[in-house]
């Protein structure tokens, strides 16, 4: 009986220490103080974009702090209850305390993950760029499946998604597409999804029903707000217009309204065709280019740029970050975290949170 009680006490103390570590390691209290100070400045409301960003961040940290404080209160109650159960030698209540500790541990873990979303660009919205690898229809269909997966994930989170550009496949799927997702901390959640995604399945396009391996690349970068100043020189740009390859019907653009911009020094290319107006498409392209250049600078600062660029350039064997196997067995495995799911249908239907959480854990182990 004494050992059980001691184990409970130790478990409670461990969780409490974890909570304090999160708060200190991520400077949550000082970040809140800084945001509160900004809100008290006389000209705070004059810059609408900045004030919205500060309010959004403040709410995030307040909710996180309140949740962690609530965890601490629950721990105190469980500590008192375990003491009572020990004194009365009540094994049933001890077991209840043990179950409550397990539930609380999961709750604390979710708060820990939120602590990881405290980098400069994490609160921003994001673009998702998807490109089919070699392999024609197979890879183009796989690229379309990935796009659907991220759109489904976005829907589950009640985020807003929009199609920026799309190049359809020859028979099915897409050769490439760019989508934008708006929501709280979207870039923070998705930033580690950049890389090569591999699919193994019995091909629906193969009359011999043979197994095929397909590849597609995913590239995530943040939507830059107006507070972040990115200098772009006109002489560094090549701007092309072309006719949009729309989905058909009344929405096909009959003018050369689609825009492609190449940033010559960095070789970054962005394109947009979702608006009828060439001016609006050019404006969207410039915003995307700013985002790409900002992300490029972030990666350089983090000394990750070389790895990211190499993973983008080779869409094939040996470079995948995650494998989705539908045949001969059913498994989704992340090659970086070794996290697995035996329910690929759920994952492809947008059930991505566990993979995203494991990536954030891995990132913060460094």
Could you tell me if 136 and 229 lie in one domain?
yes
Q: What count of other Cβ atoms lies within 10 Å of the Cβ of residue 130?
A: 24
* pLDDT tens sequence across 231-269: 788 889 999 988 766 544 344 444 578 899 999 998 899
Could you tell me if 184 and 319 lie in one domain?
yes
Would you call 52 helix, strand, or coil by DSSP? helix
The pTM for the full model equals 0.76
Could you tell me if 282 and 314 lie in one domain?
yes
State yes or no: pLDDT of 117 exceeds 90: no
Could you tell me if 98 and 189 lie in one domain?
no
CATH number at residue 8: 1.20.58.410
Could you tell me if 349 and 271 lie in one domain?
yes
Could you tell me if 323 and 297 lie in one domain?
yes
Predicted confidence band of residue 105 (pLDDT cuts 50, 70, 90): confident
Print the domain residue range for 275: 123-366
CATH number at residue 341: 3.30.70.1660
Number of domains the chain is built from: 2
List the alpha helices (DSSP H) in the chain: 2-25, 28-40, 48-87, 91-115, 137-156, 186-190, 278-301, 305-313, 344-348, 353-365
Mean pLDDT of 57-76: 87
Q: What are phi and psi of 88, to 5 degrees?
A: -95, 0
Could you tell me if 150 and 183 lie in one domain?
yes
Q: Which residues contact 268 (CB under 8 A, 6 or more apart)?
A: 262, 289, 292, 293, 296
State yes or no: pLDDT of 65 exceeds 80: yes
Could you tell me if 194 and 47 lie in one domain?
no
* Spatial separation of the C-alpha atoms in residues 9 and 32, rounded to whole Å: 31
pLDDT of residue 306: 45
State yes or no: pLDDT of 144 exceeds 60: yes
CA-nearest of 200, 154, 357, 171 to 163 is 154
Could you tell me if 272 and 288 lie in one domain?
yes
Element (H, E) at 168: strand 160-168
Residue at which a domain ends, from 58, 87, 115: 115
Residue at which a domain ends, from 97, 115, 133: 115
Could you tell me if 162 and 206 lie in one domain?
yes
* Spatial separation of the C-alpha atoms in residues 43 and 97, rounded to whole Å: 51
Could you tell me if 106 and 143 lie in one domain?
no
* pLDDT tens sequence across 11-30: 778 888 877 877 777 788 88
State yes or no: pLDDT of 321 exceeds 60: yes
Could you tell me if 196 and 62 lie in one domain?
no
* pLDDT tens sequence across 269-282: 999 887 778 888 88
* Spatial separation of the C-alpha atoms in residues 61 and 47, rounded to whole Å: 21
Residue at which a domain ends, from 115, 149, 164: 115
Residue 24 tokens read as: 């200190």
């Amino acid at each position: 009986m004494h050992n059980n009680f001691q184990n409970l006490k130790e478990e409670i103390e461990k969780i409490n220490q974890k909570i304090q570590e999160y708060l200190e390691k991520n400077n949550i209290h000082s970040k809140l103080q800084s945001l509160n100070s900004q809100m008290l400045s006389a000209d705070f409301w004059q810059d609408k974009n900045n004030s919205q960003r500060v309010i959004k961040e403040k709410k995030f940290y307040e909710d996180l702090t309140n949740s962690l404080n609530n965890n601490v209160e629950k721990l105190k109650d469980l500590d008192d209850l375990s003491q009572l159960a020990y004194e009365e030698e009540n094994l049933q209540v001890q077991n209840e305390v043990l179950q409550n500790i397990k539930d609380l541990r999961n709750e604390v873990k979710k708060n820990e993950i939120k602590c990881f979303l405290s980098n400069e660009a994490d609160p921003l919205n994001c673009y998702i760029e998807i490109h089919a690898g070699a392999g024609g229809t197979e890879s183009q269909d796989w690229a379309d499946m990935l796009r659907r997966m991220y759109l489904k994930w976005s829907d589950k989170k009640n985020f807003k998604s929009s199609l920026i550009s799309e190049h359809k496949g020859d028979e099915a799927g897409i050769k490439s597409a760019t989508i934008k997702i708006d929501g709280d901390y979207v870039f923070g959640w998705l930033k580690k999804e950049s890389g090569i995604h591999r699919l193994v399945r019995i091909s629906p396009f193969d009359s011999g029903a043979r197994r095929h391996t397909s590849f597609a690349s995913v590239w995530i970068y943040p939507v830059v707000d107006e507070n972040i100043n990115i200098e772009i020189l006109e002489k560094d740009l090549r701007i092309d217009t072309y006719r949009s390859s729309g989905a058909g019907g009344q929405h096909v653009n009959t003018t050369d309204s689609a825009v492609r911009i190449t940033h010559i020094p960095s070789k970054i290319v962005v394109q947009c065709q979702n608006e009828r107006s060439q001016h609006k498409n050019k404006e969207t392209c410039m915003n995307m280019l700013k985002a790409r250049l900002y992300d490029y600078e972030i990666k350089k600062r983090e000394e990750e740029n070389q790895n990211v660029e190499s993973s983008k350039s080779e869409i094939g064997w040996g470079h995948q970050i995650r494998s989705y196997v539908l045949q001969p067995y059913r498994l989704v495995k992340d090659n970086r975290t070794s996290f697995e799911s035996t329910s690929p249908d759920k994952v492809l239907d947008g059930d991505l949170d566990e993979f995203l959480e494991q990536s954030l854990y891995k990132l913060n182990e460094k």
